[in-house]
Amino acid sequence: MLRTFRIGGIHPPENKLSAGKKITALAVPTQVVIPLSQHIGAPAQAVVKKGDTVKVGTLLGKAGGFVSANIHSSVSGKVNKIDDALDASGYKRPAVYIDVEGDEWEEQIDRSETLNKVCNLSSKEIITKIAEAGIVGLGGATFPTQVKLTPPPGTNAEILIINAAECEPYLTADHSLMMEKGAEILTGITILMKAINVKKAVIGIESNKPDAISLFKHMIVHFEGIEIMPLKVQYPQGGEKQLIDAVIGTQVKSGALPISVGAVVQNTGTAFAVYEAVQKNKPLIERVVTVTGKNVANPSNFLVRIGTPISSLIAAAGGIPENTEKIIGGGPMMGKALVSTEIPVTKGSSGVLLISNKEAVRKPMRNCIRCSKCITVCPMGLNPTLLMNTSEFRNWDLAEKNYIVDCIECGSCSYTCPANRPLLDYIRLGKGKVMGIIRARKS
Amino acid sequence: MLLFAIIVLGGIGIVSSILLYLTSKKFEVYEDPLIAQVQEVLPAANCGGCGYPGCSGFASACVNAESLDDLLCPVGGREVMGKVAAILGKDAGTTEPMIAVVHCNGNCEARPRTNHYNGVNNCTIASALYGGETGCTYGCLGFGDCVTACTFGAILINPVTGLPEIDEDKCTSCGACVKACPKSLIELRKKGPKSRRIYVSCANKDKGGVARKACTNACIGCSKCEKECPFEAITITNNLAYIDYRKCRLCRKCVPICPTKAIHKLNFPPKKEAAAGSKETEKELI
């Protein structure tokens, strides 16, 4: 019997159309737009100005605080302007526009393909290198990695959990990366283990990727302390707390961090980025993005430079099919519809999903029939229907008492609701309000 | 047997009533009878527009205040305040009546849609998700959070323009809509003599070109009005003009000069408009 997290969860159709497709490097566009805020936390402060010449890997923005990340140029060329640009958040935020000229890389970056397994750096040096490279959690949450690797005083990491679940339907970016860069990912995991000083790492992977599981089973014998654990396919297994529960069988308390149970969770994509940053001095300037959809001519996994407009990814996958209604940045469950195809790829873009008018329409909302399906599927053990009502009627006290801030916004409740109630929409609203109230109370 | 029951029950009744009487005397809380009187004349809308928790809160504030200068029931207005002043034997306050004003004129024609929103009809939810259905990320979303918030039915979304409109007679300037709007588009401004007022009907802080591209009615921050204003009532911050209603003397010079017609004037008599600019009319208006 395969393990999974113990409460809630759903199993939507997997639709992994681009599984098994090789990663193709996408051509460098003529202009890139690199947002200065691609992560959770303070935006980076621009250190270049209009007219500056930059190379691939040149620092464009310096981290604007402890919870922030450096931003590097993904192309070589000239800075056209620093101006507001529409990004996946749906709002205009500061970004660096670069006109591409040639493809010149910073000298310290090692561009060879050779595997460099040995890392003699200390934990501190590794974390510094990761911070310099601007690495953030590539699973989608984009939390700065160096912060996660620096446990608060008094806590001790015991196990590193690698998230290879990729529980979102359609997405195959991590899966394809595992098939092609397995040794690099495993080296990255070893480096991460050294950084947080643990002896054990477990790769949690869903059983719908048998090829990756068997490949890794062969490979991990060459690496010390790494295990691979196939998990039952269940959404949202990639959620941090869900994965911890699935892998080590311990639940993280409400409001507590994973480190409270001695676990640090990192994504496979992040492990690969860490390998490249530490062993090859390469900052985070490109990532794997899945472009997919039932009507897309050629669903693919692309290696894309950060700042490339989504439109060129779609063009490479065969263009926008007729009757496309929505283009979603990310997966179908947690992704967000994009308002323009000129929005650039950022560190957190894991996929681009094109869905047709038949699938995209939200059905009209009806009254709650008290079936409690949402309560059954909620992986955090919350009461979504109650939380939606507290939000709708602005009863923030009651919302807080019912742990609205624990919601991970996975959307299982909205997905399962037979009355098509927009549960998550309202819960997200209430969560934001309550978090604001809690913050105001603390300060 | 019957007599016994009557004696016992009657006895219990008498003893309890004495106890109740004594307790109520002992723990009596004195309340100024004026508070109840004032509360009677208040509209009992409990809207909180006065800044106090409901009408009873406002009534006790009125009774305890030295003068009624800073106190105004926005719902009842001057009339009710006059009654309150009569009860309390104080002078009625001089607080000026205010009215809600919407700083957006991005109607369907001026502000073409760039995408279609398919979520919950709620401005707060939509604005948490993204900038909106048009190129302007500052403008009205049109799902009517302000309409829901208004307990007086003073705001309605005009189906033609898709924008909220405020009914001057019904608006009590309670400020509920100001709090409800996630884009902070509604402001309480001085109602002005004969409800005449001038304001900038835009909230777009983008640069001129960008703003104009998104909406033809947008303020482009050209600062023509700032230069034209003889009373220094207009300031431009972040490419957006703002008319300070405390300084504005309603001369209307800024209105025709605005290249995008973002400055609106309300309730001015149309005939006099032709003569606007001549000193006589100005004086009359002031």
Tens digit of each residue's pLDDT (9 = 90 or more) over B195-210: 888 999 999 998 888 8
B46 reaches A (C-beta below 8 A): no
| Closest Cα in chain A to B132 | A90
B267 or A312, greater pLDDT: A312
- Asked whether the beta carbons of residue A432 and residue B119 sit closer than 8 angstroms, the reply is no
* pLDDT at B4 > cutoff 90: yes
Residues from chain A that touch B137, judged by Cβ atoms under 8 A, are 90-92
A130 CA: distance to closest CA in chain B (Å)? 31
- Asked whether the beta carbons of residue A84 and residue B206 sit closer than 8 angstroms, the reply is yes
Contact by Cβ (8 Å): A166, A269: no
- Every domain of chain B and the residues it spans: 33-88, 105-188, 192-286
Residue B283 pLDDT: 45
Rg (CA), chain A: 21
A345 CA: distance to closest CA in chain B (Å)? 17
Residue B286 pLDDT: 42
| Closest Cα in chain A to B119 | A362
- Asked whether the beta carbons of residue A339 and residue B124 sit closer than 8 angstroms, the reply is no
| Residues of chain A where predicted confidence (pLDDT) is lower than 70 | none
- Mean pLDDT score of chain A, rounded to an integer? 93
- Asked whether the beta carbons of residue B130 and residue A89 sit closer than 8 angstroms, the reply is yes
| Helices A173-180 + A210-219 axis angle, to 10 | 40
| Of B115, B122, B125, Cβ closest to residue A339 | B115
Residues from chain A that touch B128, judged by Cβ atoms under 8 A, are 428-429, 432
Average pLDDT value for residue range B140-152: 91
Domains B33-88 and B105-188 share a fold: no
Contact by Cβ (8 Å): B249, B231: yes
Task: Report the topology of domain B105-188.
Answer: Alpha-Beta Plaits (3.30.70)
Q: How far is Cα B186 from Cα A406, in angstroms, rounded to an integer? A: 33
Task: Report the topology of domain B33-88.
Answer: 3-methyladenine DNA Glycosylase II; Chain A, domain 3 (1.10.15)
Residue B271 pLDDT: 54
CATH of domain A29-100+285-358: 3.10.20.600
Residue B93 pLDDT: 67
- Every domain of chain A and the residues it spans: 29-100+285-358, 123-280, 373-442
Residue B281: band (very low, low, confident or very high) from pLDDT cuts 50, 70, 90: very low
* pLDDT at B36 > cutoff 90: no
Residue A38 pLDDT: 93
- Asked whether the beta carbons of residue A91 and residue B137 sit closer than 8 angstroms, the reply is yes
* pLDDT at B282 > cutoff 60: no
- Asked whether the beta carbons of residue A86 and residue B131 sit closer than 8 angstroms, the reply is yes
User: Given this structure, which CATH class describes domain B192-286?
Assistant: alpha beta
B137 reaches A (C-beta below 8 A): yes
A323 reaches B (C-beta below 8 A): no
Phi, psi of A125 (to 5 degrees): -65, -40
Q: Name the CATH superfamily for A123-280.
A: NADH-ubiquinone oxidoreductase 51kDa subunit (3.40.50.11540)
Contact by Cβ (8 Å): A144, A136: yes
- Asked whether the beta carbons of residue B131 and residue A422 sit closer than 8 angstroms, the reply is no
A79 CA: distance to closest CA in chain B (Å)? 20
Rounded to two decimals, the ipTM of the complex is 0.84
Residue B279: band (very low, low, confident or very high) from pLDDT cuts 50, 70, 90: very low
B127 reaches A (C-beta below 8 A): no
Going by C-beta distance under 8 Å and a sequence separation of 6 or more, which residues neighbour residue A147? Answer: A41, A66, A67
- Which among A2, A8, A7, A16 has a CA at the least distance from the CA of A294? A16
- Asked whether the beta carbons of residue B130 and residue A362 sit closer than 8 angstroms, the reply is no
End-to-end CA distance of chain A: 48
- Asked whether the beta carbons of residue A86 and residue B120 sit closer than 8 angstroms, the reply is no
Cite the DSSP H helix spans in A220-281: 240-248, 268-280
- Which among A94, A95, A109, A111 has a CA at the least distance from the CA of A31? A95
B260 CA: distance to closest CA in chain A (Å)? 23
* pLDDT at B275 > cutoff 90: no
Residue A141 pLDDT: 85
pTM comes to 0.84
* pLDDT at B135 > cutoff 70: yes
Residue B272: band (very low, low, confident or very high) from pLDDT cuts 50, 70, 90: low
Structure-token pair, residue A143: 């939390």
| Of B114, B115, B124, Cβ closest to residue A429 | B124
Phi, psi of A274 (to 5 degrees): -65, -40
